[in-house]
Amino acid sequence: MAYHGIVPSQTFGQGSKDLFNGDGSTTAFTLSKAILLATDVEVFVGNVRQEPNVAYTVSGVTLTFTGTPASGTGNIYAVHQTANQGTLVPPTGRAESLTTLVTSGTITSGGTITSGGTVTVTGNVTTTGTVEPAGDTAAGDNAAIGFTAAEGLILTGQGSTNDVTIKNDADTEVMGVATGATVVDFASGPTVADVAIKVSGKESIWVPAGAMYPSITNPCSDITQVETTALRPDLKVLDFAAAADDFAQFSVAFPKSWNEGTITYQPFWTVTGTNTGTVVWQLGGIAVTSDATINTAFGTLIATTALAHSGTSNDLMVSVESGAVTIAGSPSTDDICFFQINNDVSASGQTGVVRLVGIKIFFTTDAANDA
């Protein structure tokens, strides 16, 4: 038999019927299969056909009445319309213009699908080509991909925690932009060519004893070079007596990236003898800015935890990192910070001369560099 237009599919569906019992209160009933349009199913209550989209609506497998059906056994039934179950293939070279296209299956296109409105998809969109947006995104977009000639690819979103989140194959966050923020937060340290990028945070400065000098009042010894064994490491040290608090001083111009907060320190030291007594160090500081007097008292001295010497002469001892040292004088950019360090003999149990090799100062930065 000849046909004008598109040849009908050779595949047909089979109608079916759903039967329900009204109870005088229930308005929503579950159908045996999903429905796309209200007109795809005939609904009867008490053998009276109901008007689609007026007396009832459908959404998937849910049939919802706008009123409440009366009680009765089998007084509600829905007859599913018989529909073509095959595939609609438009003729080659023909452009179809549709006001509304609704499908529960798959749309396969070897060309271009153009929409002047919104395309809503509840499943996945799969393409063997590329998706190329042609317009900008806008504030308030929940999740949008856009493009402009100036900005290129644009990702826009809004969430309660992040606006944009990038995850890996394990569904674990790699990076995100917090809601309303402009800072990218990485789940782990960012890298360039597998090399970690320097970021702000905790830093350290090594201050050797050779960069220190004895105080005029209650001084430690002058800098001394000590040979351990010929052509082995020589030590540049400051000697602190066991019987009295001796003092040494030094200064540091911290980098501009320093957050001008508290610091901590860690002394490196040794003992000339074999006594296993403990050693406690103290450190205080004062920040002096341009056009201000240097003749100012140091801040509160902060002590380290007592550390016992090993008992072997010239063994290197490393005290644990101290508590927070508050530098007096309200530190700011381009200040010089003067420090005073001493062996607190009243808290120490060491009877030998304590030799300071140097200290490591820890500070925190709030910028990646000094630009």
Residue range 307-347, pLDDT digits in tens: 999 999 999 999 999 999 999 999 999 999 999 999 999 99
Residue range 150-191, pLDDT digits in tens: 999 999 999 999 999 999 999 999 999 999 998 888 888 888
- On whether both 295 and 326 belong to a single domain, the answer is yes
In a domain, 265, yes or no: yes
- On whether both 183 and 211 belong to a single domain, the answer is no
Q: How many distinct structural domains can be found in the chain? A: 3
- On whether both 209 and 349 belong to a single domain, the answer is yes
- On whether both 30 and 159 belong to a single domain, the answer is no
- pLDDT the model gives residue 120: 75
Give me the amino acid identity at 23.
D
- pLDDT the model gives residue 8: 55
Degrees, nearest 5: CA angle 277-283-284: 155
- With 80 as the cut, is the pLDDT of residue 122 above it? no
In a domain, 273, yes or no: yes
- On whether both 217 and 359 belong to a single domain, the answer is yes
Structural domain containing residue 163: 143-196
Q: Which residue has the tokens 């700011």?
A: 332
In a domain, 178, yes or no: yes
In a domain, 98, yes or no: no
- On whether both 239 and 336 belong to a single domain, the answer is yes
- On whether both 160 and 69 belong to a single domain, the answer is no
In a domain, 121, yes or no: no
- With 60 as the cut, is the pLDDT of residue 211 above it? yes
- On whether both 175 and 238 belong to a single domain, the answer is no
- pLDDT the model gives residue 239: 98
- On whether both 236 and 277 belong to a single domain, the answer is yes
Domain holding 263: CATH number?
2.60.120.260
In a domain, 101, yes or no: no
Choosing from 196, 217, 234, the residue where a domain stops is: 196
C-alpha span between 164 and 183 (Å, rounded): 11
- On whether both 176 and 305 belong to a single domain, the answer is no
- On whether both 303 and 251 belong to a single domain, the answer is yes
Choosing from 164, 196, 228, the residue where a domain stops is: 196
Residue percentage of the chain with pLDDT more than 70 = 88
In a domain, 233, yes or no: yes
Choosing from 175, 196, 217, the residue where a domain stops is: 196
In a domain, 20, yes or no: yes
- On whether both 168 and 216 belong to a single domain, the answer is no
